[in-house]
Every structure is written in structure tokens, then in C-alpha cells.
Structure 1
Amino acid sequence: MKLKTALLLVIAIFLCSTAFAQSSKELKRKKEALQREIELAQRNLNKTTSGKKLTLGQINAIKAQIRLRQEKIATINSEMKNLDQQIHENTNKVQNLKGRLAELKKEYAAMIRFAQRNRNSYDKMMFIFAASDFNQAYKRIKYLQQFGQYRKKQAAYIQGTEKQLSNQIVVLDKNLKSKGSLLQEEVSEKSKLDKNKSEQTAVLSKLSKQEKQFKQDIQKKRQQQAAIDRQIQAAIAREIAAARKKAEEEARERERIAAAKAKAENKAAPTSSESKPKTNSEALRSTPEAAKLSDAFEANRGSLPSPVATGYITGRFGAYKVDQATAMRNGVVFQTSEGAAVRAVFNGTVSTVFQQYGKYYVVIIHGEYFTVYEGLQSVSVSKGQKVTTKQTIGTAGTADGVPELGFQIHRGSVAQNPESWLAR
């Protein structure tokens, strides 16, 4: 029973250690990814600060840096929490091994004292011959043999336990050093965060001096975005209308064939059971291929790849404040690296490619879903072309000197929050 309990304890400790290791690796990967995004944000910020004129790109880059650093500090804290758990576990292991080693040494000392008292062959022979019968004498011989073997095993146990203890102390030292490094990293990141906040304060102070020009720039961007959104909605509406028309024509054709068949067989014309698509979703899913593609797209919610390989979100979906007024954003905005490739996030067909304000816009249809890629510098696809997941469709353009991409997802004509669809 004791052996079973000990075995379960060892398994539990192993599983906990494995879980900690996996979690630590995930946190380390996340921290490294955040650091890459912070460095990218700094490069973009350096581009915008070279000019005297304050831009929205500059403000967004500083905000992104602050948010990313806060996320990195939170990740470091999670790493330290994990390390604290590991340190606690390893400290307990060291204490248990020390206790076990003391017990083994105590037992071994007792055996040595016994062996010293019965160290010569005469004593051993007298111990055997003092037996009351042959059976007892045989058992005493076996006892002396087993006692010698047990002593050797105990010596091996002591050596093994000392080695375990030494290894565990090394692991514990590494844990403590790692925690010290993380504490230094956290202090450094908090210092950089304070610097970013100071930069933000300076930018806001600068904003008050350029407020009139800045308001004009924002108003112009809002008007342009509204015009672009109207074109995107019009493109989606055309696709829905075309899908509805096709579905209705197919329904009428099926009715015509059924009526002709009934007439040939001298039967009453069948009552029409074909229903025209009532919703946009039904119209867009009217073919087996479209329905299958829609289901596949939906099944990948939360795991779609990012439309850019490197980048971070500076503009979030939904309502946001601009110049004390509330505006709506139908997607998200990524700041990315210069000349970044823009990728299709799923298999589909290019529905629309149009140009506006010197930039390109691509709409891809995935059954009843649409993905929209905004503000491209160049495109490498055309209307009607089939595309696959992560296929390059163009390169990101710039806004205020910063590489940027707008990205939208629509279910029919209804805009979705892309962050809930994309993998982190």
C-alpha cells in the first residue's frame, strides 16, 4: 500500500513538473512574440517621429507600444508565478531527499555497528552452530547472506539519494537565478513603459498645439473610410444579389422540369415545394460547395491565420473615440513591417478588386463569409481567381508613413469582430 502511495506521488510530481515546463515554454514564446511586436512598433514610431507634423500613425504606434509592454509585463509576472510554484516544489523535494538521506545513513550506521560486533568468522560460525536445529541453522546462514546484500543495497541507495539531492539543488539554483533574471527584466520593462507613457504625454502636449490640423486630417480620413466602406458593402450586396438570383433561377428550373414530367405522365402538376431563399445566408449557401466552404470557414473560428505574418493591432473593431466623437470601425487595423506580404486567411474566390485614393482593396468570398483586405500598395490577384489559405494576394500599403493594413470579416452583410476569428 505504501509503495502504491509513493508511486502515485512520484507520478503526480512528474505530471506537475511537465505541466509547469509546458506552461513556461508557452509563456516564453508569448513573451518573445510580444518583444518582436514591440520592436516593430518602435521602428514604425521612429519613422513617424522624423517629421515635425503629428500623425495618427505616431499616436497609434505609442499606444501600441504601451499596450504591448503591459502585456509583456503581465507575461513576465505569469512566468514568475510559475517559477514560484516550481521553486516551492523543488524546495520540498530537497527537504524530502535530505530527510530520506538522514534516515538511510542512520539505518546504515546501525548495520555497520552490528557488523562490527560480529566481524570475525568465529562469531558468525558460533551464531550458526547455536541454532536449535538444522532448519534454523540454514535460516541463519541465509540471514547473514541477505544482511550482506542489504548493506550493499543501502550503500547504493545512499549514493543514489545523494546524487538526486545534488541534482535537485542544481535545479533549484537554476530556478532562483531565472527568477532573479525575470525580476530584472520586469524592472527594465516597467522603466521602458514609464518612458513610453512620458512620450505619450509629450505627444498629447504636441497635439494641443497642432489640434486644428490634426482634426482636419482625422475628418478627412473618416470621410475616406466611409466612402471605402460603402464600396465594400456594395460589393458584398452585389454578391448576395447574384447568389439570390442564381438560387431563384435554379428553383424555377427544378419546378419547370417537375411540371413537364407530371404532364408527360398525365398527372396533376405538383404543388411547388421549392422555397426561394429567405435570408442572405440561405442565398449564399444555396450550393453544396458554398455550404461546405461556409462550414469550413466557421469551423476555423479562433484559428484563422493573420493576414500579415508580422504585425500588431492598433485599431480595434467597433465603436471608438476620435476627436471627442464616436466612430465605428468595421474591422481591425494592423501596423506591420515595410513591404509586408498580405495573405488570404482562408480558401475562397476573389469577389472584388478595386482602387481608391491610390490604394487597392480586395474582397474574397468564402461561402456566406467575406474577408476584406484594405489599403494595399499592390495586388497579385484578380476577380474570379481562386485563392488558398496564406496565399499572398498583395503587399501592405502605408498610412502616415507607417506600413498598415485594414482587415474585415463579414457574415453576409454583417461585420464581425476579426479578433475573435484570428489565431493569437
Structure 2
Amino acid sequence: MKVFRALLIIVGVFIASGAFAQSSAELKRRRDKLTQELEQLNSEYQQTASNKKVSIKQLNILKAQINLREEKILNINSEVRNLDNQISKSNNTVHTLQSQLDQLKKDYAGMVLFAYRNQSAYNKLMFVFAAKDFNQAYRRLKYLQQFGTYRERQAGYIQGTQKELHVKINELDKDKREKSNLLTEQEKEKQTLGKQKNDQVRVISDLSKHQGELKQQQRDIQKKIAKTTREIASAIRKEIEAARREEEERARAAARAAAAKAKAENREAPAAPKKTAVKTTSEILNATPEAAKLSNDFLGNRGRLPWPVTNGQLIHGFGTYTDSEGIRNDNNGYEIRTANGAPVRAVFDGEVSRVVDVYGTYTVIIKHGEYFTAYSNLRSLTVSRGQKISTKQTIGTVYTDPLSGDATVIFSLYKGTTAVNPKLWLADN
């Protein structure tokens, strides 16, 4: 029974270790990704810092670095908590295994002493013949035969427990070293974070000297975003109206064909179809089998769509946010920072519905059945209206703002005329 409990403890340790390893691996992957993004931002910041004139780009990069570094510190905190839990469990396991090993050794010592006292053949025979009856003698004989086997098995249990104890002690030492390294890294990140927050205060102070110019830049950006949003909404409404007219024309063509066939067969023309209820936007956009299939395929890839750029950091997500000037803004999509001149790609198969020029930059709208995706702030295009598009196909390159130095693409997703949160549709970046 004691041996069975020891095996349960060992199995439980392996299960707990597996769960910990999975969680720890996920946290480590996230920490490595944050480190990579921070290194990239640091490289960009060094380039902007070489310019004596403080720019909005410097401030934006500092803000992004601060946010990522704070997230990395929180990530390290989670890793340390995991390690603390694992170290505590490992300590308990080591104590339990040590107690179990001590008991096994004690039991084994008793068996060795018994075997020593009864090692001669004479003593064994006397033990058997001293039985009260034949049945007891038989049981004593079987006991002597099984005793040796049991002693060997107990020796095996001792060796196995010693080995497991050694493994757990090594794991415990490894976890303690890893925790120490994480705490060192965390302290380094905190120091860097403090320095960057001081840099942010300095940059804001320098930029405040040009407050009027900055506010005008912000107003220009908001004006451009508002116009882009209106253009997208207008383009989608036009697409819906065009689909409605096409369906009506198909219905009229079918009626004409039926009338012509009846006339050719010298039959009475069929009665004109009764006026049906007004169809929904979804029914209009999915009127053809091809459109319905594309909508279903798009919906089936919810949460797995690729990002519109291969490498990028999310600046503003879907919904309302407040910018550095304290202005509230409504964002209908994802604003993503990427590299200068980076290619922008379609997130799914579809057809280019519209290409719109907004103050010298382009917005491409792609139709996916009843769904639409929009890619704004493009410098150049590689597609045109009516062109069939495949997933991850390049549709243009991102525009870089000469004043801020930021290369950002705004990605929006609509179901009919309703904007939806891209977070629910895009894969983890």
C-alpha cells in the first residue's frame, strides 16, 4: 500500500509538471516575442533620436516601448509566480519522496535482518516443521519462497525512488536558477522602463513648444480618418445597391425568359410574380451561390485570418480611445504600425470592390460575399477594381507619414455596413 501511494505521488508530479511546462512555455514564447518587438522599436528610436529635432514619431515609439515593457514585466511576474508554485510543489514532493525512501529502507533493513537470522537451511526447515498443521507448514513454505522475490522488488522500489528523488532535486535547482535569472531580467526591465518614462517626459516637454503645429497635425489625421470611414461606408452602400439591382435584373430576365418560352409553346404567359418582402442586406449580398459560399468560407475562418502585414504592432484597437492631446477618437478597425514601405496583403480570398483616393493615399475595399475588408493609408497599389484576390496576396505598400515618420495601415472589417472588431477574426500575431 505504501508503494502504491508512492507511485501515485510520482504520477501526480508528472501530471503537474506537464501542466506547468505548457503554461511556462507559452509565457516564455510571449516574453521572447516582446523582447523581439522591443529590440525592433529600439532600433527605430535610435534612428529618430539621431535627428536633433524631436518628432511625434519619437514620442509614439517611446509610448509603444513603455507599453510593451510594462507588458513584459507583467509577463515575467506570471513566470515567477509559476516558478514559485512549481518550487513549492517540488519541495513538497522531495520531502514526501524522502520520507517514503526512509520508510522503504527501514522495511528493507528489517527484511535483511530476518533473512540473516534465518539464512541457514536448518533454520528454514525448523521454521516450516514448527507449524501446527500441514496447512500452516505449506503457507510457511510459500512465504519463504515469496520472501526473496519480495525483497528484490523492495530493492527495486528503493532504487526507483532514489532516482526520482534525484531528478526532482535537479529540477528544483533548475527552477531556482531560472527564477533568479528572471528576477534579474525583471529588475533590468524596470530600470529601463524608468529611463524611458523620463525620456517620454522630456520629449513631451520639447513637443509642447510646438503645440500648435502638433494639434494641426492631429486635426489633419482625424480629418483623414473621418473621410476614409465615410468613403468606406459609401462604397459598401453602393456595392449593396448594385447587388440589389443585379438581383432584380435577374428576376426580370427570368420572367422574360418564362414568357418567351410560353409564347413559343403557345401557352398562356405565367402570371407576374407577387411582390415579396424587402430582402435583408445579407440576403442581397448572398444572392448567388458563389457569394454565399464565399461568405461561409470567410465565416469559417473566423479567428484564423492572417494579419494584413507580416510584421506589425497594434497602436489602436477597435473602439474609442484618447490620443496624446486628450482627444477622444472612434476607431472602426485596427491601426497597425509596420516597417516603411512594407507590403500590405489581403486577409482572405475575394474581389476588389472599390479603390478610393483619400488625400493622396489609397484605401482598398475587398468583398468576401457579405463581408468586406478595407485597407487604408496605402502609398501604392498592385491591384485594381474588379480583380480577384487570393489570401495573403499583396495589394499595395504602406504609406509613411513624413511628419511623424510612422508607417501605419488601418485595417477594417465589415459585415454588410456594420463594422466588427478585427480581434475576433484575426489570428494571434
Q: What's the CA shift for 1:405?
A: 1.6
Q: What's the CA shift for 1:229?
A: 3.4
On the 8 A contact 1:41/1:65 being kept in 2, the answer is yes
CA distance in 1, matches of 2:94, 2:156: 19
| 1:136-180 CA distance string (max 9 Å, x none) | 444433322222222222222111111111111111111111111
CA distance in 1, matches of 2:5, 2:102: 21
Match of 2:81 in 1: 81
Question: Higher relative CO (CA 8 A, sep ≥ 6), structure 1 or 2?
Answer: 1
Match of 1:306 in 2: 307
1:415 counterpart = 2:416:
no
Deviates more, 1:210-219 or 1:326-335: 326-335
Deviates more, 1:135-144 or 1:55-64: 135-144
Count matched residues. Answer: 424
On the 8 A contact 1:69/1:193 being kept in 2, the answer is yes
CA distance in 2, matches of 1:355, 1:119: 100
On the 8 A contact 2:303/2:426 being kept in 1, the answer is yes
Q: What's the CA shift for 1:366?
A: 0.8
Match of 1:43 in 2: 43
Amino acid in structure 2 at the alignment position of 1:411: K
Deviates more, 1:225-234 or 1:32-41: 225-234
On the 8 A contact 1:40/1:311 being kept in 2, the answer is no
Match of 2:284 in 1: 283
Deviates more, 1:41-50 or 1:262-271: 262-271
RMSD, matched Cα:
2.8
Q: What's the CA shift for 1:62?
A: 1.8
Of residues 396, 404, 410, the one that matches 2:408 is 404
Question: Where do residues 358-369 of structure 1 align in structure 2 (5 Å cutoff)?
Answer: 358-369=360-371
On the 8 A contact 1:258/1:270 being kept in 2, the answer is no
1:33 counterpart = 2:33:
yes
Alignment identity in percent?
49
Match of 1:57 in 2: 57
On the 8 A contact 2:341/2:400 being kept in 1, the answer is no
Question: Where do residues 290-329 of structure 1 align in structure 2 (5 Å cutoff)?
Answer: 290-322=291-323, 323-329=325-331
Match of 1:204 in 2: 204
On the 8 A contact 1:349/1:387 being kept in 2, the answer is yes
| CA distance 1:55–1:409, change in 2 (3 Å) | farther
Q: What's the CA shift for 1:211?
A: 0.5
On the 8 A contact 1:251/1:276 being kept in 2, the answer is no
On the 8 A contact 2:227/2:358 being kept in 1, the answer is no
Amino acid in structure 2 at the alignment position of 1:353: V
Q: What's the CA shift for 1:356?
A: 4.5
On the 8 A contact 2:352/2:364 being kept in 1, the answer is yes
On the 8 A contact 2:312/2:338 being kept in 1, the answer is yes
On the 8 A contact 2:308/2:344 being kept in 1, the answer is yes
CA distance in 1, matches of 2:72, 2:376: 29
Match of 2:172 in 1: 172
On the 8 A contact 1:248/1:276 being kept in 2, the answer is no
Amino acid in structure 1 at the alignment position of 2:312: G
CA distance in 1, matches of 2:79, 2:119: 57
TM normalised by structure 1 equals 0.89
Q: What's the CA shift for 1:382?
A: 2.5
On the 8 A contact 1:350/1:362 being kept in 2, the answer is yes
Deviates more, 1:44-53 or 1:142-151: 44-53
CA distance in 1, matches of 2:251, 2:58: 55
CA distance in 2, matches of 1:6, 1:163: 13
Q: Secondary structure at the match of 1:286?
A: coil
On the 8 A contact 1:343/1:394 being kept in 2, the answer is yes
Deviates more, 1:20-29 or 1:101-110: 20-29
Deviates more, 1:52-61 or 1:267-276: 267-276
On the 8 A contact 1:359/1:377 being kept in 2, the answer is yes
TM normalised by structure 2 equals 0.88
Q: Secondary structure at the match of 1:363?
A: strand
Amino acid in structure 2 at the alignment position of 1:40: Q
CA distance in 2, matches of 1:64, 1:273: 60
CA distance in 1, matches of 2:13, 2:192: 38
Match of 2:156 in 1: 156
On the 8 A contact 1:76/1:186 being kept in 2, the answer is yes
| 1:9-42 CA distance string (max 9 Å, x none) | 6555433322221111111112222222222222
Match of 1:189 in 2: 189
CA distance in 2, matches of 1:260, 1:13: 81
On the 8 A contact 1:331/1:408 being kept in 2, the answer is yes
Q: Secondary structure at the match of 2:399?
A: strand
| CA distance 1:105–1:51, change in 2 (3 Å) | same
Q: What's the CA shift for 1:258?
A: 5.0
Amino acid in structure 2 at the alignment position of 1:127: F
| 1:212-247 CA distance string (max 9 Å, x none) | 111122222233333333433333233222112111
Question: Where do residues 61-140 of structure 1 align in structure 2 (5 Å cutoff)?
Answer: 61-132=61-132, 136-140=136-140
Instruction: Give the gaps of 5 or more residues in structure 2.
Output: none
| CA distance 1:277–1:389, change in 2 (3 Å) | farther
CA distance in 1, matches of 2:392, 2:160: 54
Q: What's the CA shift for 1:98?
A: 0.7
| CA distance 1:235–1:55, change in 2 (3 Å) | farther
| CA distance 1:193–1:119, change in 2 (3 Å) | same
Match of 2:335 in 1: 333
Q: Secondary structure at the match of 2:384?
A: coil
Q: What's the CA shift for 1:336?
A: 1.4
Q: What's the CA shift for 1:209?
A: 0.9
Of residues 347, 350, 353, the one that matches 2:349 is 347
Amino acid in structure 2 at the alignment position of 1:405: V
Deviates more, 1:216-225 or 1:46-55: 46-55
Q: What's the CA shift for 1:100?
A: 0.7
| CA distance 1:277–1:296, change in 2 (3 Å) | farther
| CA distance 1:224–1:130, change in 2 (3 Å) | closer
Amino acid in structure 1 at the alignment position of 2:335: V
Amino acid in structure 2 at the alignment position of 1:342: V
CA distance in 1, matches of 2:150, 2:321: 77
Deviates more, 1:276-285 or 1:382-391: 276-285
CA distance in 1, matches of 2:12, 2:422: 40
On the 8 A contact 1:374/1:405 being kept in 2, the answer is yes
| CA distance 1:48–1:370, change in 2 (3 Å) | farther
Deviates more, 1:1-10 or 1:93-102: 1-10
| CA distance 1:280–1:56, change in 2 (3 Å) | farther
Match of 1:384 in 2: 386
